[in-house]
């Protein structure tokens, strides 16, 4: 499943763009065969037995390979300036609109990842990989350039029908052993509108790296024929404390896997 070419090496200009804009689009993280192999695996009913929610990278070899992939974890290491540790992984399939529907699969409301995954020091970052051609019509990723430069923003509960809405409680644990619960919900960031967003077009196999404070999300799939498929990995730099207990035990990346 791994690519045979040498791992991607970012230029100083690309790293500068990441820090200036809060995100970076990187082409060809995965080759066509890697994408097809993963999607075939996802379609296999027996793969369901390997699922562990946000920690499926620990039980499913296909998810593990993407999370440790030299073009994914390797780029994260270059951005972080150290060894990445995997916090969580997600596969997000957004189906097209049906013949009698205006909207297909719902999007994710605008948010900053550190609201969901508080960590100290805040080294959290993500890689969002397009597993199909993605664009604004089929619910591709949106980002707000420069939004990472401020503190965490005020939030409200999402009410946009294009976005999923939920509320849930999560356990937290501090480095000194103190424990508590926090109510998390489908955040909508105050002060960021659609006019502030870049609606990205990301071809299959390419990906977007972004910081924990970069405001991002997506909208519903309005395409009639094209699913929007994406795989995401969240990393922290080794030595970072993650407060949420369900993903607190992070996995150091095997940088030799590729």
Q: What is the mean pLDDT of residues 204-217?
A: 98
Contact indicator for 83, 152 with CB cutoff of 8 Å: no
Q: Which CATH architecture has domain 12-238?
A: Sandwich (2.60)
Give the chain's radius of gyration (CA, Å): 18
Q: Would you state the pLDDT for residue 98?
A: 87
CA distance 119 to 186: 19
CA distance 200 to 208: 9
* pLDDT tens profile 72-94: 999 999 999 999 999 999 999 99
Q: Which among 24, 21, 6 is positioned nearest to 79, based on CA atoms?
A: 24
CA distance 76 to 251: 14
Residues in a beta bridge with 229:
93
CA distance 104 to 222: 6
- Give the contacts of 143 (CB within 8 A, at least 6 positions apart): 22, 23, 197, 198, 200, 208, 210, 214, 215, 216
Q: Would you state the pLDDT for residue 4?
A: 56
Domain ranges of the chain: 12-238
Retrieve residue 20's tokens.
Answer: 């200036």
- Give the contacts of 131 (CB within 8 A, at least 6 positions apart): 35, 38, 39, 91, 204, 205, 229, 230, 231
- Is residue 204 packed enough to be buried (19+ CB in 10 Å), middle (13-18) or exposed (0-12)? middle
How many residues are given for the chain? 258
CA distance 73 to 253: 7
Q: Would you state the pLDDT for residue 258?
A: 43
Q: Which among 58, 56, 88 is positioned nearest to 170, based on CA atoms?
A: 88
Q: Would you state the pLDDT for residue 254?
A: 85
* pLDDT tens profile 98-153: 888 889 999 999 999 999 999 999 999 999 999 999 999 999 999 999 999 988 99
């Amino acid at each position: 499943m791994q690519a045979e070419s040498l791992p991607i090496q970012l230029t100083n200009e690309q790293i500068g763009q990441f820090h200036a804009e809060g995100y970076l689009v990187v082409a060809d993280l995965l080759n066509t065969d890697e994408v097809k192999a993963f999607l075939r695996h996802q379609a296999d009913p027996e793969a369901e037995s390997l699922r562990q929610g946000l920690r499926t990278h620990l039980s499913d070899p296909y998810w593990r390979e993407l999370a440790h992939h030299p073009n994914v974890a390797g780029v994260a290491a270059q951005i972080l300036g150290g060894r990445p540790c995997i916090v969580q992984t997600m596969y997000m399939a957004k189906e097209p609109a049906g013949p009698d529907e205006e909207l297909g699969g719902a999007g994710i409301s605008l948010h900053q990842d550190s609201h969901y995954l508080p960590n100290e020091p805040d080294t959290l970052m993500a890689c969002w990989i397009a597993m199909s051609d993605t664009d604004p019509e089929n619910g591709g990723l949106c980002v707000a350039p420069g939004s990472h430069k401020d503190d965490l923003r005020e939030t409200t509960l999402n009410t946009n029908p294009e976005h999923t809405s939920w509320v849930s409680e999560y356990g937290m644990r501090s480095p000194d052993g103190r424990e508590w619960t926090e109510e998390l919900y489908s955040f909508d960031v105050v002060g960021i509108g659609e006019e502030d967003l870049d609606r990205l077009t990301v071809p299959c196999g390419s990906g977007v790296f972004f910081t924990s404070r970069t405001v991002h999300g997506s909208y519903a799939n309005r395409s009639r024929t094209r699913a929007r498929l994406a795989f995401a990995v969240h990393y922290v730099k080794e030595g970072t404390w993650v407060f949420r207990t369900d993903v607190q035990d992070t996995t150091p990346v095997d940088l030799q896997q590729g």
